[in-house]
Amino acid sequence: MSALDTFKALQSSEFGRFIGGQDHLFCAGLELAHIVGMILLLASIALVSLRLFGVGLRQQSVLALSKATSGFIRTGLALLAGSGLLIFIPAATSYYPNDFFWYKAILLAAALAVHLTAYRWITHSENPSPWAARATGSLSLGLWLSVAFAGRFIGFFS
Give the angle subtended at the CA of 142 by the CAs of 136 and 145, to the nearest 5°.
140
* Gap between the Cα atoms of 20 and 27, Å rounded: 9
Residue 4 Cβ vs other proteins, minimum distance, rounded to whole Å: 25
Specify the amino acid at residue 150: A
Nearer to other proteins, 122 or 147 (CB): 147
* Residue 124 phi, psi dihedral angles, 5° rounding: -110, 0
Q: What is the DSSP letter of 127?
A: S
Per-residue x/- track, 112-151, other proteins (CB under 8 A): ---------------------------------x--xx--
Q: Is 2 in the site for other proteins (CB under 8 A)?
A: no
Q: What is the DSSP letter of 98?
A: -
Binding piece for other proteins, criterion CB under 8 A, among 12-20, 45-53, 110-118, 127-135: 45-53
What's the gap between Cα 56 and its chain centre? Answer: 22
Binding residues (CB under 8 A) for other proteins: these are: 28, 31-32, 35-36, 38-40, 42-44, 46-47, 50, 55-60, 64, 68, 145, 148-149, 152-153, 156-157
